[in-house]
A and B are shown apart, each in its own frame.
Chain A
């Protein structure tokens, strides 16, 4: 998906026709979103199998609210077994919260850009030199969504492994 997004960006920048450049640019936003989304969904599936098929719009909420319950449950067991103390539990929950919220925020923004790209053709992309923008979203920033999602997913998994099996 990242590769396709990159190629679409190049095509958009190199295309002199405004209509075609717009279509190519908005498709690039779509590909970058999907790359980030698929990585996140795969990661959530590793954390808990029932989260594997989570719908697009529900992922941010799952990240912000749905992880706490299972995490607290597992951490409470570890505290009772004296594998960790309350301080460790607080630190792990805090790290989980910060990382999951960061990923949720990224996906919300990417999803917004993708919906505009796919369903609001009346909102055109704009070109400023070699920069393509859609509303306030720069394609150069969208290009980083997949790697940023990869980074946050790796951190999320690392935290999850402290109290669960992946």
Chain B
């Protein structure tokens, strides 16, 4: 069993790396070091420990003691309060735009901001980002990763359309609508026609002039991800052809 006393008897090591606690898990031979997230920064600076410094320390420990190591950043109540306060301010200032916002603190400087909005307009996005930047920079945050999510799309993706053709080609527009209307409430023939025209321009799909049915080209077939096993699209296609014949 790994003996923690070496690290415990060297408080300067714990201070250097801001280790608040440690544990050795015999179950998987892992030494776990707990570091408060408020002590962690992106680049080396006095009074903190950087992510890279911790990684280098872990490597030394693994080499010296033949154990796996893991660093767990313990959460900060202060950061949680900051997140809640910022969320309230955002909702007060951008009431009609914001649906949901979520903060994940990755260090004392870096925060991931996930934002769900009603519509994506560049100018509005910039205003929200600028607001978050100025609100959080006062608390020491300087590195932001923004993730923007629009309200749930009720329309199929290009891959969904190509897959529908692969499974049921040759496929006419009315059958398309039937197929998609079960999952996507906003699908209509005008929208679908536009998407199919785009796919024809990109030579992924062809439309038969007589039957007005759509089929995939070789290039279009190549774009669709493969699925092996019971969920295989080729099996689904074969079953559909069988159903039509029988």
By a beta-carbon cutoff of 8 Å, the part of chain A in contact with chain B is 49, 57, 74, 77-78, 81-83, 94-95, 98-99, 102, 108-109, 112, 115-116, 118-120, 123, 135-136, 141, 151, 155, 158, 161-165
Contact = CB atoms under 8 A, between A and B. Distances in A.
A96 B64 CA distance: 35
Given A77-B222, A99-B147, A136-B74, 14 more contacts: A78-B158, A81-B202, A102-B112, A108-B70, A108-B72, A109-B72, A116-B23, A119-B26, A119-B27, A123-B23, A162-B157, A163-B225, A165-B225, A165-B233
Q: Which of B26, B28, B32, B225 has the most CB of A within 10 A?
A: B225
Q: Main SS of the interface on chain B?
A: mixed
5 contacts: A78-B158, A120-B25, A155-B149, A163-B225, A165-B225
Nearest to A162: B157
Contacts of B244: none
A131 to B, nearest CB: 12
B165 to A, nearest CB: 13
A112 B190 CA distance: 53
A49 B228 contact: yes
Nearest to A70: B225
Contacts of B219: 81
B16 interface: no
A104 to B, nearest CB: 12
A112 B32 contact: yes
Given A57-B28, A119-B27, A81 B223 contact: yes
Q: Main SS of the interface on chain A?
A: helix
Interface residues of B, number: 38
B21 A135 contact: yes
Contacts of B118: none
The 7 A-B residue pairs with the shortest CB-CB distance, nearest first, are: A119-B27, A136-B74, A81-B223, A164-B225, A83-B158, A82-B202, A77-B223
Interface string B151-171: 000000111100100000000
A77 to B, nearest CB: 5
Q: Which of B70, B159, B227 has the most CB of A within 10 A?
A: B159
B117 to A, nearest CB: 14
Contacts of B20: 136
A71 to B, nearest CB: 10
A115 B163 contact: no
Interface string B219-237: 1101111011101010000
B156 to A, nearest CB: 10
Contact of A136 (B21, B102, B147): B21
Nearest to B227: A165
Given A49-B228, A109-B72, A81 B204 contact: yes
Given A77-B223, A164-B159, A165-B225, A112 B72 contact: yes
B104 interface: yes
B50 to A, nearest CB: 17
